Amino acid sequence: MIQKKFSEVDRRIFSFPAVHPCEAVSPATLLGSLIVLSQNIGNYQSKFFASQRRNSREAIRKIGILLVFFEEIHDRGLILPETAVLCFSELHLTFQKIRFLLEDCSREGARLWILMKSEMVVTQFRVLIRTVATALDILPLNSMDICGEVKELVELVAKQARKARIEIDPNDERAMRRVLSVLDRFEKGIEPEFQVLKWVLDYLEIKTWSDCNKEIKFLEEQCVESEDREVPFLSSLLGFMCYCRVRIFDTLDYQNADQTDVRCNMEVLSCLNPEDFRCPISLELMIDPVTVSTGQTYDRSSIQKWLKAGHTICPKTGEKLTNTELVPNTNLRKLIHQFCADNGLSLAKTGKKSRDITRTILPGSPAAAEAMKFLSRIVVRNLVFGTSEQKNKAAYEIRLLAKANIFNRSCLIEAGTIPPLLNLLYSFNKSIQENAIAALLKLSKHANGKKIVVENGGLRSIVAVLKRGISLEAKQIAAATIFYLSSVKGYRRLIGEIDETIPALVDLIKEGTPCGKKNGVVALFGLALYHGNRQRVIDAGTIPLLLHIIASSNKDELIVDSLALLATLVECLDGTLAILQASSFPLITRILQSTTSQAGKEHCVSIFLSCCNNGGDEAVAVLAKDTSVMSSLYSVTTDGTALASKKARSLVKMLHKFHETSSSGQGCQACTNEQSVHVW
């Protein structure tokens, strides 16, 4: 078969990457491919078309007739004249485009978008059907030995293709007008009528919450991928569908849409990938971080768009910018590049899908903004006054809506969703508790969300889920929420002072899945940034647990994060003593020599340096026994980051000094054989 197959993933909607048959293709191969292509188009007869039903049906019917013609030629083994080959080549190209168009029109999840793009779709059908007519005009039917009935059918198709009136279906037009009327009401701040929404969804046969969610996911993808001029309308339609999902459907028939966030927060919960690595505007890893006059850091492209739009305030703090100077944050840039190198990420790929700030901090359109405000009030009502099922659905809706959209988070927080969500944490229903804590996790990424959680006594409620949650997943999400809350300096102390917090996180590290262990480790890391919490973390028996993970885990990220927490804890004297008592220097040395992570190497060096500073000659003597450690330290001085290199040089200096003292005082042969290398 000549044509190249394109999957839904490979091809964007309304793109038709047809391949023209090469001039050297044999007539038999071309004919065979045309037959297969025509059969594929015929298979769309059984597909559902929410709109463009008549145009799709007519296109399929015409090509079905031509299939009879192609099969007649094939069965009779006719030799094709050169003009026929030229005609078939053009038909082959056009049929590919028709197949792509039919695929788009029947695409699940794109029903509303296809309806609202009816004029463009009709134009495509019109052009392609006219192209079929033009190709058939040069077909030498009279010189081809086919039966009269088939010849008449081909002539009929050619005539119909030339004269066909390809227009927007009146029912499609009526549905479009109703959608536009709803968007107009949203813009005016008027809530639309339930019956109008229901009529539109019934027309498109969007019958369930799941069907509606597929439409939303599709529109979200288009908002990211489309040109800027398309975004406002796409955002309006997205607001329309989100509002419908909340208001029309009472029952969740599908809950796997966000399960990756339930099972693991591996991407965002990492000591090596703090929120500082992500631009507050685009939510993506920063490619070129720059700092503005308020001291906040953004990706250059995102803040430039913000300033170009005429804004004079800092997007994150709301403070007025004293100037528009953008100062490169070179240290952060190095850390981000190192993080990407350690984790096999490409900054080019992360930047490619970076969202425009008006799609996150600001609403994509006035209609989208008002729709979000209306539905925020609905979910709050359901959280407070709804049945158990309505409360569960409302929590799940918040979880989805707040997942990656700053404006949505701010609307939901302003509407008052956090207090009732905190109340739901005490539910005995597993699903309600999981959805409530997951919704709070999303909202706690917003500065105002953190503040309201704490002001409403939410810390103890979240710790209660961490300690006594109905499911392990609820406990894991609670740990992730604590990690985000601990990003505020003042909250680290408050969280640590709750007696159950640190022991519960330690229990999660002991009993949890790899994801649960990771969430527990990074939550403790966040808390340990406050010096007053470090002794509590050590007293809870964390260090032996971390050493066990480092020795036995096959999860590189978990090992590196455990090293990061360990490096923080050994800054305390008791942390150093625990490391020395566990005789763990050989383990740390092995990791230093074997890990490919630059961050992991730096943590190992930090552990050694803190132990030597706190433990004195006794610790230095233990480290000096392993002669292989010196070469690893030299490697870090040359290949590590500036900070890692500095720490490694300090250790090398300590070890050299110890060897020199030991050699002169005791005549140690091993020490006299060690040559001193100047590293400063």
Q: How far apart are CA 315 and CA 454, in angstroms?
A: 23
Buried b (16+ CB within 10 A) or exposed e, 391-402: bbbbbbbbbbbb
Is 363 in contact with 410 (CB distance < 8 Å)?
no
Q: Sheet containing 289-291: give its strands across.
A: 297-299, 289-291, 327-328
Q: Looking at domain 287-334, does it have CATH number 3.30.428.10? A: no
Length of the chain: 680
Q: Which two tokens stand for residue 655?
A: 């070890």
What token pair was written down for 258? 């966000």
DSSP SS3 for 547:
helix
The pLDDT of residue 359: 53
Is beta strand 289-291 parallel, antiparallel or unpaired with respect to 297-299?
antiparallel
- Long-range Cβ contact pairs of 135-144 (< 8 A, separation 24 or more): 135/87, 135/90, 135/91, 135/94, 136/87, 136/91, 136/161, 138/83, 138/86, 138/87, 139/83, 139/84, 139/87, 140/81, 140/83, 140/84, 143/81, 144/73, 144/78, 144/80, 144/81, 144/84
Taking the C-alpha atoms of residue 337 and residue 347, their distance in angstroms, rounded to an integer, is: 8
pLDDT at 180: 98
CB 476 within 8 A of CB 508: yes
- Nearest in space to 650 (alpha carbons), one of 613, 603, 595: 613
Contact between 44 and 106 under an 8 Å Cβ cutoff? The reply is yes
Gap between the Cα atoms of 521 and 270, Å rounded: 9
Contact residues for 62 (Cβ-Cβ < 8 A; gap 6+)? 129, 132, 157, 160, 161
Burial of 110 (0-12, 13-18, 19+ CB in 10 A): buried
- Hey, how many other C-beta atoms are within 10 angstroms of the C-beta on 257? 18
Q: What is the identity of the amino acid at 271?
A: C
Query: What phi and psi, each to the nearest 5 degrees, are found at residue 313?
Result: -115, 160
Cβ of 177: how many Cβ atoms within 10 Å? 10
Burial class (CB in 10 A: 0-12, 13-18, 19+), 297: buried
Secondary structure in 3-state letters for 235-293: HHHHHHHHHHHHHHCCCCCCCCCCHHHHHCCCCCCCCCCCHHHECCCCCCECCCEEECC
pLDDT of amino acid 351: 43
- Check: pTM over 0.85? Answer yes or no: no
Q: Which residues contact 9 (CB under 8 A, 6 or more apart)?
A: none
Place of tokens 């079929």: 132
Is residue 458 within 8 Å of 449, Cβ to Cβ? no
Helix (H) or strand (E) holding 327: strand 327-328
Q: Architecture of 540-660 per CATH?
A: Alpha Horseshoe (1.25)
Which pLDDT does position 338 carry in this prediction? 61
CB of 141 within 8 A of CB of 110? no
Q: Where in the chain is the domain with CATH 3.30.40.10?
A: 287-334
Task: Give the chain's radius of gyration (CA, Å).
Answer: 32
Backbone angles phi, psi at 333, to 5 degrees: -60, -40
**Contact (Cβ atoms closer than 8 angstroms) between residue 556 and residue 599:** no
Report d(CA 113, CA 475) in Å as an integer. Answer: 39
Flag residues of the chain having pLDDT under 50.
1-9, 256-268, 271-275, 342-344, 346, 348-358, 667-680
> Rounded CA gap, 593 and 599, in Å?
13
Joined tokens for residue 412: 């939901």
Predicted pLDDT at 667? 43
- Which two tokens mark 137? 């005009």
Q: What is the SS3 assignment for 391-412?
A: HHHHHHHHHHHCCCCHHHHHHH
Query: What's the CA gap between 633 and 49, in Å, rounded?
Result: 66
CB 375 within 8 A of CB 246: yes
What's the rounded Cα separation, in Å, for the pair 479 and 474? Answer: 9
| Residue written as token pair 């973390």 | 537
SS (H, E, C) 78-112: CCCCHHHHHHHHHHHHHHHHHHHHHHHHCCCCCHH
* Alpha carbon of residue 62 to chain centroid: 43
H helical segments located in 444-541: 447-455, 458-468, 472-485, 489-497, 501-511, 514-528, 531-539
CATH 1.25.10.10 residue ranges of the chain are 540-660
Q: List Cβ neighbours of 436 (8 Å cut-off, separation of 6 or more).
A: 395, 421, 422, 424, 425, 427
* Cα 138 to Cα 63, 133, 150, distances in angstroms: 17, 9, 17
